[in-house]
A = this chain, B = another copy of it.
């Protein structure tokens, strides 16, 4: 596909634009020697809770589920979690850095077509972290699942971007580093670019992204070459 056929790019937030590594470093600060174990289980539970609660029809927002995941993780690892530490770790989510190449790549892409964010994050989380990074003006829309009360990879989440942007799904390029999110977007009908930042092996989900890249610069190169 030629990038000239696309009319907008929609980005996932956590792991795609924003680097959650600082949260993990902060875990190590509070729980020396346990940072890796905490951060790995925390991420597993954060996602698992979004899927399970969507399936059960028991939505709570991403901030709440991120807290729930941390509480479970600390209990599972027999680590005491004070309210002060929980607040401190959660506050990291509001001031995550981007991956290093992202600001310049987004600047190049924004010169070519409208950009938007579509994320599981709560509106407050997304607005604050985007503002913290001075990126608010890069995006035509910052879309949260919160109005729908369901999480990715429900097709209704991806559809909400089509409705909001007023652009056909075939003309939307969706960018995510989370493979399952890339697959969900592809199953819905977007043209999907998977940023495989961590050289992960693809899951077997019956559908695959259209392109695999390793940094956002490759997307900017592809878009500039085709538009």
**Interface set of A (CB-CB < 8 Å, partner B):** 44-45, 48-49, 51-58, 60, 68-69, 71-72, 75-76, 151-155, 180, 183-184, 187-188, 200-207
Residues of B within 8 A of A202 (CB): 72
A82 to chain B, nearest CB (A): 17
Q: Are B206 and A58 in contact (CB under 8 A)?
A: yes
Q: Are B55 and A203 in contact (CB under 8 A)?
A: no
Q: Are A184 and B72 in contact (CB under 8 A)?
A: no
How many identical chains are in the complex? 2
Residues of B within 8 A of A153 (CB): 52, 55-56
A153 CA to B58 CA, complexed, in Å: 11
Q: Are B49 and A184 in contact (CB under 8 A)?
A: no
- Known A-B contacts A56-B155, A153-B52, A153-B55; A45 and B203 likewise in contact (beta carbons under 8 Å): yes
Residues of B within 8 A of A184 (CB): 52, 55-56
Nearest residue (CB) in B for A207 is B58
- Known A-B contacts A54-B55, A55-B55; A49 and B183 likewise in contact (beta carbons under 8 Å): no
Q: Are A72 and B183 in contact (CB under 8 A)?
A: no
Q: Are B68 and A204 in contact (CB under 8 A)?
A: yes
Nearest residue (CB) in B for A60 is B206
Residues of B within 8 A of A201 (CB): 72, 75-76
